[in-house]
Structure 1
Amino acid sequence: MELLIVIIVLALLFDFINGFHDAANSIATIVSTKVLTPFQAVLWAAFFNFVAFFIAKYIIGGFGIANTVSKTVVEEFITLPIILSGVIAAIAWNLITWWKGIPSSSSHTLIGGFAGAAIMASGFGAIQLNIILKIAAFIFLAPFIGMVVAFGFTILVLHICRRVQPHKAEVWFKKLQLVSSAMFSIGHGLNDSQKVMGIIAAAMIAAHSMGLGMGINSIADLPDWVAFACFTAISLGTMSGGWKIVKTMGTKITKVTPLEGVVAETAGAFTLYLTEILKIPVSTTHTITGAIIGVGATKRLSAVRWGVTKSLLVAWILTIPVSALLAAGIYMVVTFFLG
């Protein structure tokens, strides 16, 4: 019982870290175009992260992504030490990448950690490889979709606004950035909060099989307070910011104007809503990065700083295997102390 509570607390801590780690995703362009100050922007993003809870519960009517994450490891192999090791590894990798200013994926960190600990405990038969491969495929598909949508949307908007006076257009697009940033923040809340819900659900299912209190039969029995706590934690994390990553996302990939900010955030939101329908956990970081690249590429390919982009891609590819190895090592330590 105590171990389950520790896991829930650490999972919510991860959710909080995810919030400030990924705050940059939804506010980078709105800050870099000076539509809002950094403080105003994080409050704006945090509010809409939390609005996502009510959309998921009362409009969508379920938490499909949480269900997908909870099934990353075969149910009979899930134990509390495995989940504990995965969460600790995910927190460690998130803090390292935040410290270095690298916008890595919190989603893939969590899934890599969960899978790595399970493999160390019971071998490769313990993981649902088809689910993990599907999630891994979206390391490339999510930014690609964001890039293509942003590229096409930019060309369309430029065509529609070709006769509009530039100053007037800029004023309008600064106002529209408030809307596009809110849309993206809702997508961020919908996607990322559910990943932690999935991990907590897996822990509660494992607790039930061990005959512990607070256990549940399936994710359908997950108490409402878990969802509420997850969405609250990510919102509070977003309010605490993530300025190093804001700098990378908002200025280092390509110079972003208000028009391009609207397009990038809208394209990113579209991609997140699509994956919500497909019930696939994706990285909001990857999504918005792809959208920003798509926007930059419409000016000229050289407008995108491909050196920065290459470094980001390497970090993305490494996230799952590094998190898995880290979790495997932590699992050995955890089982040594827990006996």
Structure 2
Amino acid sequence: MDTFALVVTIGVALFFTYTNGFHDSANAIATSVSTRALTPRAALLMAAVMNLAGAFMGSGVAKTVSEGIIATPTGDKGMGILFAALVGAIVWNLVTWYFGLPSSSSHALFGGMVGAALAGGTEVIWGGVLEKIVIPMFVSPFVGLIIGYLVMAAIMWIFRRSGPHKTKRGFRIAQTVSAAAMALGHGLQDAQKTMGIVVMALVIADVEQSGDPIPLWVKVASALMLSLGTYAGGWRIMRTLGRRIIELDPPQGFAAETTAASVMYSASFMFHAPISTTHVITSAIMGVGATKRINAVRWGVAKNIVLGWFITMPAAAAVAAVSFFAVRIFFG
């Protein structure tokens, strides 16, 4: 196996993690920044540190990515498939970041893997795609929407006799905790996805065996790149999540972040399902906003976001397929 191809593929995987970080930094901190619970830079630093910590909390999601979506390809063609899958995901991340659309980096990666595998004649494990990706893609936003609504309704009832100013001040402080929990969940979910890709590359290159523990350097590298990307910040998407869906106040921000973090921890530890942090926090914001009044949510903006969710996987798959054919043409 060409060592150069392995190094390049791992390098592209780590760059994907970096784009994932700045693309998804808004997921963890947009609500806290929009409610002024945290300053932007303080929020980004906190998110970067918590992302780093979250990356070391488990490996179930990484195993799903490395073994449950496509059959591990072999040889130079296999490395080309991984490379093309990452290119598809990176291109979609950059396009959606440019337009400020909070799409899912996770589903861009999964779409890239499926598209490159189909182009390269590698088996797609459709049962795993359905069970671990497609079903959670529909279920997790619905759960986030409903739980977000219920949590916010409970907060409104519990604090119904409290003074608005005092309540908002208290929840502004509480948001530092909920934002940290959200960032920890993001690290738990998204760093592991890159770990799974790097492990696949190492297995293809016969450096590691399938089923071996994830090497420490893979965990450290993936976590650091995700944290660096997070600290770089994704301001375009932050404006969309923090203000364009609904103007959030501190209790609403706390409810949305707590909901999203709870869903991510449950998916990671109970089901080893690589869900989208973007889908969960966005739907939680919608659910929280709907408690105010249904038309308080800017459903036109929400509709465009949801449409972006549906086209992410096929769009990334198409880019990955084209990338695979380009790699085969130019590099044989």
**Structure 2: 5+ residue runs without aligned partners?**
none
| Deviations, residues 98-130 of structure 1 (Å, cap 9, x unaligned) | 01111110000011101111101116xx10101
Give the superposition deviation at 1:76.
4.8
1:65·1:276 contact (CA, 8 Å) conserved in 2?
yes
Give the superposition deviation at 1:53.
3.0
Match of 1:43 in 2: 45
| Deviations, residues 142-201 of structure 1 (Å, cap 9, x unaligned) | 111111111111111111111111111111000000000000000000000000001111
Instruction: Work out the CA distance in 1 between the residues paired with 2:290 and 2:139.
Output: 18
Match of 2:119 in 1: 120
Q: Which AA in structure 2 matches 1:11?
A: A
Q: Which AA in structure 2 matches 1:233?
A: M
Q: More displaced, 236-245 or 37-46? A: 37-46
Q: Does 1:228 align with 2:223?
A: no
Match of 1:211 in 2: none
Root-mean-square deviation (CA, aligned residues, Å) is 1.2
| Deviations, residues 9-50 of structure 1 (Å, cap 9, x unaligned) | 111111011000000011111111111221111111111111
2:152·2:291 contact (CA, 8 Å) conserved in 1?
yes
Match of 1:175 in 2: 173
Q: Does 1:298 align with 2:300?
A: no
- Mapping 1:127-142, distance limit 5 Å: 127-134=124-131, 135-142=133-140
2:55·2:189 contact (CA, 8 Å) conserved in 1?
no
Instruction: Work out the CA distance in 1 between the residues paired with 2:37 and 2:181.
Output: 16
Instruction: Work out the CA distance in 2 between the residues paired with 1:221 and 1:168.
Output: 49
Give the superposition deviation at 1:220.
2.4
Match of 1:266 in 2: 258
| Deviations, residues 227-273 of structure 1 (Å, cap 9, x unaligned) | 11111111111100000000000001111000000000000000100
Match of 2:154 in 1: 156
Q: Pick the aligned partner of 1:66 from 54, 62, 65.
A: 62
Runs of 4+ with >2 A deviation:
75-78, 219-222
Q: Which AA in structure 2 matches 1:300?
A: R
| SS of the residue 1:299 aligns to | coil
- Mapping 1:180-199, distance limit 5 Å: 180-199=178-197
Q: Does 1:201 align with 2:203?
A: no
Q: Which AA in structure 1 matches 2:331?
A: L
Q: Which AA in structure 2 matches 1:201?
A: V
| SS of the residue 1:79 aligns to | helix
- Mapping 1:206-221, distance limit 5 Å: 206-208=204-206, 215-221=207-213
Match of 2:83 in 1: 84
Match of 1:212 in 2: none
Q: Does 1:289 align with 2:286?
A: no
2:29·2:47 contact (CA, 8 Å) conserved in 1?
yes
1:216·1:222 contact (CA, 8 Å) conserved in 2?
no
Q: More displaced, 232-241 or 67-76? A: 67-76
Instruction: Work out the CA distance in 1 between the residues paired with 2:7 and 2:137.
Output: 32
Q: Pick the aligned partner of 2:24 from 22, 25, 29.
A: 22
2:54·2:185 contact (CA, 8 Å) conserved in 1?
yes
Instruction: Work out the CA distance in 2 between the residues paired with 1:285 and 1:14.
Output: 16
Give the superposition deviation at 1:304.
0.9
| SS of the residue 2:212 aligns to | helix
Q: Pick the aligned partner of 2:327 from 330, 334, 339.
A: 334
**Structure 1: 5+ residue runs without aligned partners?**
57-61, 209-214
Match of 1:310 in 2: 303
Percent identity over the alignment is 43
Match of 1:59 in 2: none
Instruction: Work out the CA distance in 1 between the residues paired with 2:134 and 2:26.
Output: 22
